[in-house]
């Protein structure tokens, strides 16, 4: 063995000795600690400080360096087992409270807090003589201080959350309120202090939110938010009168602004929303509703005045705006009808007819409807529209009016129209003094042609026949007759333009066309003498006058003096029988042949006077007298 080996072995022995001494010392220390721990536990036990004693007994039981009074230790621990159990439960709860509190999880914290309260109830009620040690145990772990500290942290957190939501304009989350309400009164200093602090916070927050919503024009959101938060408060038995009060204040301000700016549509929208809000919230506000109704009534009167002033468009718009709050169907319908009667073109628009219309007219309560309109479009299409009682429009039209005819007037032909079949008269220009007349009868959604002619004018007789003056294609002096034949009118002839008289009355019809029957004494061309019942006339005209009885149409305008053959009072003769014509070879005085040898003198009827003096002896066969001259148009 070398010196080196000797030294190394010594060192090893020396090191082992040191380690052994350290172990003996460590063992000794733990032995001493167990003895002291056991002694301290016994002192505390003797002093009835059982919670602290249990803690020292537990320390001693965990020290296995020495078997020292093990039986006593086991006995004591068994005796103090209820305290051990309480400490274990409360220690676990305290740890969990701190964990969820540090995590900021309020719901989890309240759950653990509820377990703590439950444990308190159980431990203080079922642990017998050891129940009195509950408060000492929780104080031993500092649980009351931990709970208070964490609750105060959450109170601060939720107050900051309210401010942050206002800054971020986020108003949907009200959980901070309900969380604050869940915190026990004691952590606010008592029930009264809690109510004062929370209600003040809630009111400030709610009024700020509602004011901002109203200021931004978010009226519906304001009412919805107010209703929702009121329901939330009611479900938690929180008396939040400021919500309805602030809502009413903001709504009134909005309504007053709408009224001042004469915005009935906005006013009605806000008023209806507010009324619905009251119904949903089961609230009443008679003052507000009275104000709304008074303003509505003021606008109704204004709309009525607009109708009176024929300002129908604005009246209808106002009635329609107000109808959002209350039933305005009757005045609205009346205003629309008055507007349609005043402006009939609206009926064409209601019937969805596109185009430009002219010669539009109309009226009300005719032809089985509330109103009607007539007119033509740029294509000469003729329209009749009737507004039915159900506000539907019945349309009649005709597409056959000549496009080359310039329409001058469109009207209802009153004399031919009936309540069920109105007649539309269209007058057109012809480039002359004559007028193009076209009439159309409304039947089966169409305007059926009733008559069409060109003339100067026409008139309708009581029997509904037409007398047409200066009918195109006829003599200007002739009056054409049109009569209805089925569904249309047709030409049936001309109206006589003379008066039937007796020849004795000829002188009372001066310058008038008349017709009479007379006996032509001798036929001839251009002129003839005629007589009936002793009354003589001279017939004159560019036509043949056959001898015998004839019907004459002509005009008396002058007298002519001539010698009349025969006596002054000739015997009466049958006007229907022609007088005898002298046979060939019979003698006739020259004075019997008119126009040849009889001296004549034309006399104006105004200057003529009856000649009562005798110019010849009564025995003479002829005399000179004034005879009416007839300008003859026809001989029948």
pLDDT digits (tens, 9 = 90+) for 326-383: 999 999 999 999 999 999 999 998 888 888 999 999 999 999 899 999 999 998 999 9
pLDDT bracket for residue 15 (50, 70, 90): low
Question: Around 567, how many Cα atoms within 13 Å sit in the side-chain half-sphere?
Answer: 7
3-state secondary structure 420-488: CCCEEEEEEECCCCCEEEEEEEEECCEEEEEEEEEECEEEECCCCCEEEECCCCCCCCCEEEEEEECCE
pLDDT bracket for residue 21 (50, 70, 90): low
Contact indicator for 515, 499 with CB cutoff of 8 Å: yes
What is the model's pTM?
Answer: 0.64
Which uninterrupted H or E stretch holds 551? strand 548-565
Phi-psi region of 271 (alpha: psi -120 to 50; beta: other; left: phi over 0): alpha
Matching residue, tokens 């026949």? 465
- β-partners of residue 525 are 544
* Distances 266 to 250, 304, 307, 312, 326 between C-alpha atoms, Å: 15, 20, 22, 21, 14
Q: What is the pLDDT of residue 566?
A: 58
End-to-end CA gap in the chain? 193
Measured in degrees and rounded to the nearest 5, phi and psi for residue 361 equal -150, 175
3-state secondary structure at position 562 = strand
Q: What is the pLDDT of residue 112?
A: 87
Contact indicator for 202, 177 with CB cutoff of 8 Å: yes
Contact indicator for 94, 142 with CB cutoff of 8 Å: yes
* Distances 25 to 59, 418, 561 between C-alpha atoms, Å: 20, 137, 192
* Distances 201 to 61, 478, 480 between C-alpha atoms, Å: 55, 104, 100
Q: What is the pLDDT of residue 61?
A: 67
Q: What is the pLDDT of residue 622?
A: 57
Average pLDDT estimate for 428-433 = 90
- β-partners of residue 424 are 412, 440
pLDDT bracket for residue 244 (50, 70, 90): very high
Return d(Cα 568, Cα 535) in angstroms, integer: 11
Question: Around 481, how many Cα atoms within 13 Å sit in the side-chain half-sphere?
Answer: 12
Lowest mean pLDDT of 188-197, 404-413, 542-551, 603-612, name the range.
603-612
Phi-psi region of 555 (alpha: psi -120 to 50; beta: other; left: phi over 0): beta
Q: What is the pLDDT of residue 3?
A: 56
Matching residue, tokens 């709304």? 292
Question: Around 378, how many Cα atoms within 13 Å sit in the side-chain half-sphere?
Answer: 3
Domain boundaries, the chain: 14-67, 85-260, 342-493, 497-560
Return d(Cα 519, Cα 580) in angstroms, integer: 11
pLDDT surpassing 50 at residue 614: no
Measured in degrees and rounded to the nearest 5, phi and psi for residue 529 equal -95, 135
pLDDT bracket for residue 584 (50, 70, 90): very low
230: nearest Cα among 273, 275, 194, 280? 280
Q: What is the pLDDT of residue 600?
A: 45
Return d(Cα 125, Cα 3) in angstroms, integer: 79
Higher pLDDT, residue 530 or 70: 530
537: nearest Cα among 506, 492, 499? 506
Return d(Cα 157, Cα 312) in angstroms, integer: 62
* Distances 77 to 47, 84, 91, 132, 136 between C-alpha atoms, Å: 16, 8, 18, 18, 18
Higher pLDDT, residue 615 or 1: 1
Higher pLDDT, residue 143 or 467: 467
Select the CATH number that applies to the domain covering 497-560 from these four: 2.60.40.10, 2.40.50.140, 3.20.20.210, 2.60.120.10.
2.40.50.140
Number of helical H runs and strand E runs in the chain = 16, 19
pLDDT bracket for residue 20 (50, 70, 90): low
CA angle 523, 524, 527 (to 5 degrees): 110
pLDDT bracket for residue 85 (50, 70, 90): low
Sheet of strand 371-377: strand arrangement: 357-364, 371-377, 382-387, 393-398, 446-455, 435-443, 423-429, 406-412
Contact indicator for 498, 620 with CB cutoff of 8 Å: no
Measured in degrees and rounded to the nearest 5, phi and psi for residue 425 equal -105, 125
Percent of the chain exceeding pLDDT 90 equals 55
455: nearest Cα among 465, 438, 628? 438
Q: What is the pLDDT of residue 145?
A: 87
Q: What is the pLDDT of residue 68?
A: 63
pLDDT surpassing 60 at residue 128: no
Write the pLDDT tens digit of every residue in 515-563. Answer: 999 999 988 899 999 999 989 999 999 999 999 999 999 999 899 988 8
Lowest mean pLDDT of 47-61, 151-165, 195-209, name the range.
47-61
Q: What is the pLDDT of residue 317?
A: 96
Q: What is the pLDDT of residue 71?
A: 73
**Mean pLDDT of all residues in the chain?**
83
Write the pLDDT tens digit of every residue in 474-504. Answer: 878 788 999 999 999 999 988 887 888 999 9
Lowest mean pLDDT of 4-8, 341-345, 400-404, 486-490, name the range.
4-8
3-state secondary structure at position 58 = helix
Q: Give 444's contacts (C-beta < 8 A, 6+ positions apart).
A: none
* Distances 180 to 176, 202, 206 between C-alpha atoms, Å: 6, 10, 15
Contact indicator for 176, 183 with CB cutoff of 8 Å: no
552: nearest Cα among 494, 480, 501? 501
Contact indicator for 274, 223 with CB cutoff of 8 Å: yes
Phi-psi region of 561 (alpha: psi -120 to 50; beta: other; left: phi over 0): beta
Measured in degrees and rounded to the nearest 5, phi and psi for residue 180 equal -65, -35
Average pLDDT estimate for 194-210 = 95
410: nearest Cα among 443, 385, 391? 385
pLDDT surpassing 50 at residue 258: yes
Return d(Cα 65, Cα 87) in angstroms, integer: 26
């Amino acid at each position: 063995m070398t010196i080196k080996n000797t030294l190394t072995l010594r060192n090893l022995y020396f090191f082992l000795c040191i380690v052994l001494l350290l172990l003996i010392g460590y063992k000794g220390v733990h032995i001493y600690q167990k003895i002291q721990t056991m002694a301290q536990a016994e002192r505390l036990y003797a002093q009835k400080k059982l919670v602290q004693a249990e803690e020292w007994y537990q320390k001693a039981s965990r020290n296995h360096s020495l078997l020292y009074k093990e039986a006593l230790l086991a006995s004591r621990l068994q005796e103090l087992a209820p305290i051990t159990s309480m400490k274990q439960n409360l220690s676990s709860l305290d740890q969990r409270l701190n964990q969820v509190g540090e995590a900021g999880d309020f719901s989890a914290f309240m759950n653990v807090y509820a377990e703590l309260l439950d444990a308190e109830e159980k431990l203080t009620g079922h642990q017998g003589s050891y129940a009195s040690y509950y408060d000492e145990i929780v104080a031993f772990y500092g649980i009351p201080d931990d709970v208070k500290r964490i609750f105060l942290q959450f109170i601060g957190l939720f107050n900051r959350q309210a401010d942050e939501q206002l800054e971020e304009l986020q108003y949907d989350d009200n959980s901070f309120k309900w969380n604050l309400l869940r915190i026990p009164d004691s952590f606010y200093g008592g029930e009264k202090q809690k109510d004062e602090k929370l209600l003040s916070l809630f009111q400030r927050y709610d009024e700020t939110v509602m004011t901002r919503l109203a200021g931004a024009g978010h009226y519906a959101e304001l009412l919805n938010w107010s209703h929702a938060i009121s329901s939330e408060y009611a479900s938690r038995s929180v008396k939040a009168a400021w919500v309805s009060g602030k809502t009413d204040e903001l709504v009134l301000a909005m309504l007053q602004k709408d009224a001042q700016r004469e915005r009935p549509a906005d006013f009605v929208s806000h008023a209806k929303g507010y009324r619905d809000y009251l119904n949903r919230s089961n609230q009443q506000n008679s003052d507000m509703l009275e104000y709304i109704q008074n303003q509505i009534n003021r606008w109704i009167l204004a709309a009525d005045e607009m109708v009176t002033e024929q300002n129908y468009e604005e009246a209808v718009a106002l009635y329609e705006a107000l109808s959002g709050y209350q039933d305005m169907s009757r005045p609205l319908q009346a205003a629309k009808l008055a507007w349609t009667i005043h402006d009939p073109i609206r009926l064409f628009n209601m019937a969805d007819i596109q185009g430009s219309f002219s010669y539009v007219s109309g009226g009300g309560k005719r032809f089985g409807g509330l109103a009607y309109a007539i007119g033509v479009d740029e294509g000469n299409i003729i329209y009749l529209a009737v507004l039915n009682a159900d506000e539907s429009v019945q349309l009649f039209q005709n597409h056959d009016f000549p496009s080359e005819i310039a329409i001058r007037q469109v009207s209802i032909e009153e004399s031919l129209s009936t309540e069920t079949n109105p007649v539309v008269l269209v007058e057109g220009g012809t480039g002359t003094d004559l007028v193009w007349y076209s009439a159309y009868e409304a039947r089966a959604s169409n305007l059926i042609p009733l008559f069409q002619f060109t003339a100067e004018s026409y008139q309708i007789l009581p029997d509904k026949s037409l007398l047409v003056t200066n009918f195109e294609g006829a003599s200007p002096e002739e009056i054409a007759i049109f009569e209805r034949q089925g569904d249309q009118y047709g030409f049936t002839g001309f109206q006589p333009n003379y008066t039937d008289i007796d020849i004795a009355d000829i002188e009372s019809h001066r310058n008038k066309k008349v017709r009479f029957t007379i006996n032509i004494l001798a036929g001839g061309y251009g002129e003839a003498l005629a007589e009936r019942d002793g009354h003589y006339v001279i017939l004159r005209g560019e036509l043949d006058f056959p001898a015998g009885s004839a019907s004459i149409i002509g005009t008396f305008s002058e007298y002519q003096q001539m010698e009349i053959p025969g006596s002054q009072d000739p015997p009466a003769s049958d006007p229907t029988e022609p007088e005898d014509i002298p046979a060939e070879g019979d003698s006739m005085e020259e004075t019997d042949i008119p126009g040849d040898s009889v001296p004549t003198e034309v006399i104006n009827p105004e200057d003529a006077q009856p000649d009562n003096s005798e110019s010849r002896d009564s025995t003479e066969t002829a005399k000179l007298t004034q005879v009416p001259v007839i300008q003859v148009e026809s001989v029948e």
